[in-house]
Amino acid sequence: MSELITYHAEDGIATLTLNNGKVNAISPDVITAFNAALDRAEEERAVVIITGQPGILSGGYDLKVMTAGPKEAIDLVTAGSTLARRLLSHPFPVIVACPGNAVAKGAFLLLSADYRIGVEGPYKICLNEVQIGMTMHHAGIELARDRLTRSTFQRSVNNAEVFDPHGAVVAGFLDKVVPAEQLQETALSAARELKKLNMLAHKNTKRKVRKALLETLDKAIEADKGHMG
């Protein structure tokens, strides 16, 4: 398994830790490693925890790839949106333990999970695409529309509003905020609780609940392949 994502499995819980530089940029290789880790977690029937380094979940897509050319940008966004769709329909519970900033694709990881825990501190959680000159992609719009509150959706997507962790709970990016030193144990505790679910019922119910979203994302991903920007 690539060191871009380390995989630690214990007691039916698989922890996937992003490890790609100071902002944990999401590159094609990171997405490949992500999918391989999810394959393994699914085989092991494990509850998944996704986390990053102290202070950062991810700052978003690798800008070197995004600025290399239109094809490279579209390919990376397509792979990232497909990953989000996979997380949303993953047959076992997915937790994100967000240790700090979650920007752009980092924030979309939060919107793709079943339960999201953040940490107290001066951290930024936002969809900053408009701020940095990128028109939001269709799949991102639809994911944000589904998971954020109505007023937050407009402010977040159109205005690139930045939320602190507590504001991110109100907005719909996070479910809970804890002191940084409690993040790992809080995530493990949540995973242990989720392990008690009937996993077949969890999978079938989640896919029913998200059926319309998943169908909308499929159409959005196809639309983004043809045109972005």
Residue 23 structural domain: 5-226
The series of mean pLDDT values per 10 residues for the chain, 229 residues long, is 86 97 96 98 98 97 93 95 98 98 98 98 97 94 97 96 98 98 98 98 98 98 79
Predicted pLDDT of residue 46: 98
Q: Which residues contact 135 (CB under 8 A, 6 or more apart)?
A: 129, 228, 229
Burial state string for 54-66 with b = 16 or more CB within 10 A and e = fewer than 16: eebbbbbbbeebb
Predicted pLDDT of residue 47: 98
Considering its fold, how many domains does the chain have in total?
Answer: 1
Predicted pLDDT of residue 185: 98
Q: Which residues contact 26 (CB under 8 A, 6 or more apart)?
A: 20, 58, 60, 61, 62, 76, 80, 105, 106
Specify the CATH number for the domain of residue 14: 3.90.226.10
Predicted pLDDT of residue 226: 76
Crossing angle for the helix pair 138-147 and 70-88, nearest 10 degrees?
A: 30
Q: What predicted TM-score, i.e. pTM, was given to this entire model?
A: 0.96
Predicted pLDDT of residue 1: 43
Q: Using alpha carbons, select from 126, 42, 136 the residue that is nearest to residue 89.
A: 42
Predicted pLDDT of residue 138: 97
